[in-house]
Amino acid sequence: MKYLIGNFKMNKTFFEVESYIEALSYLIEQNANKLSNIKIGIAPSFDSTHLSYIHSNRNFLFGLQNIYHELNGAYTGEVSLNVAIAADIDFILIGHSERRSLFNETNELINKKISHLEKTRITPILCIGESLEEFENNQTFTVLENQIKSALKNIEDHKNLIISYEPVYCIGNGIIPEASHIKKVVDFIHSLLHDETPILYGGSVSLNNIDILEQVDNLSGYLVGGASLNAAKFIELALRIK
Ligand code: PGA
């Protein structure tokens, strides 16, 4: 089973997500035979969360891009895990590089969010990745090990976890790393976790490079930003995944 997850980021209104869902559901149904080996998911922004509840009979996964690490209280402007549970959310992105760099999310905070999620049936998709400087200084493995170990600190059972490897310098600019680099990273993550946790790749995945990425034989799928925003193109991408 492979995953194709769309991260809409801050790009669609609730009305746009509604029509996207209509198109996506139809296209998945039309291509059901060809897509039987792939789970397709979308993560719109918080204002669309209730659409998950409305579409509880859906043929795709519904996720969120972030969550707060407390269940309730005086946290103006934040969204509780209780909201995600009530809306029947399937997965939540945790520690996306934009959250880390623009909103100061630390590994400690990410650890709190994952601990929280591990007590529910909602799958955390933990995003990790090195910066260009770290890559050039040969620090990729040290950085990833630190991100994973601190995110999973004191979490004994992470069977409900997905990891997305997203080198920061490849996000949103059309560049992907060498396939051999991704393969080495995925093997490294598996060796750290001693298990079969699904590992996705994210960063400029598109119809232009999906065939190259598909040659990385140990990947379990992709986390896609820009190329997920059009439902028809997103399904085209899904149809190229073996
Ligand atoms: P991109 O974003 O596909 O637009 O590069 C990927 C991500 O940030 O998850």
The residue whose CB lies within 8 Å of the most ligand 1 atoms, and thus the one to mutate among 7, 164, 209, is 7
Shortest-distance Cα residue to atom 7 of ligand 1: 225
Distance (Å, whole) CA 235 – CA 233? 5
Domain parsing of the chain, residue ranges: 2-240
Residue pLDDT, tens place only, 202-237 = 999 999 999 999 999 999 999 999 999 999 999 999
Q: What length is written for the chain?
A: 242
Contacts of 115 (CB under 8 A, 6+ apart): 69, 154, 155
3-state secondary structure string across 94-131: ECCHHHHHHCCCCHHHHHHHHHHHHCCCCEEEEEECCC
Q: What is the best residue among 162, 168, 204 to mutate for testing ligand 1's pocket, by most ligand atoms within 8 Å of CB?
A: 204
As a whole-number percent, the residues of the chain with pLDDT over 90 amount to 96
- Specify the pLDDT at position 178: 95
What pLDDT was estimated at residue 167?
A: 97
Distance, in Å, from the CA atom of 159 to the CA atom of 180, rounded to the nearest integer, reads 27
Could you give the 3-state DSSP secondary structure of residue 5? Answer: strand
> Looking at the whole model, is its pTM more than 0.95?
yes
Give the model's pLDDT for residue 159: 79
pLDDT at 238: 98
The residues with which 2 forms a beta bridge, in sequence order, are 38
pLDDT digits (tens, 9 = 90+) for 19-46: 999 999 999 999 999 999 999 999 999 9
The pLDDT of residue 196: 86
Confirm whether 18 is a catalytic residue: no
Pocket test for ligand 1, best of 12, 166, 230, 234 (most atoms within 8 A of CB): 166
How many Cβ atoms from other residues are within 10 Å of residue 107's Cβ?
17
**Atom of ligand 1 at shortest range from CA of 226:** 4
Among protein residues, the one whose CA lies closest to atom 2 of ligand 1 = 225
CA distance 177 to 136: 12
Instruction: Of 93, 31, 19, give the one whose Cα is nearest residue 59.
Output: 31
Query: Between vectors from CA 9 to CA 155 and to CA 111, what angle results, nearest 5°?
Result: 15
CATH number corresponding to 2-240: 3.20.20.70
Q: Which of 96, 116, 130, 158 is catalytic?
A: 96
Residue 56 has pLDDT above 90, yes or no: yes
Whole-number Å distance, alpha carbon 177 to ligand 1 midpoint, is: 13
pLDDT for the residue numbered 186: 97
**How many CB atoms sit inside 10 A of residue 235's CB?**
21
Nearest to 232 by CA among 39, 5, 29, 24: 24
Establish how many alpha carbons lie within 13 A of residue 133's alpha carbon, considering only the half-sphere containing its beta carbon.
0
Q: Which pLDDT belongs to residue 194?
A: 79
| pLDDT score of 157 | 79
User: What's the pLDDT score for residue 156?
Assistant: 82
Q: Ligand 1 within 6 A of 172 CB?
A: yes
Amino acid present at 104: N
Q: Kindly report, residue by residue over 111-125, the tens digit of the pLDDT.
A: 999 999 998 999 999
Q: What is the mean pLDDT of the chain?
A: 96
pLDDT at site 106: 96
Q: What is the average pLDDT across 77-87?
A: 96
Whole-number Å distance, alpha carbon 75 to ligand 1 midpoint, is 28
pLDDT (tens digit, 9 = 90+) per residue, 141-196? 999 999 999 999 999 878 789 999 999 999 999 999 999 999 999 999 999 997 78
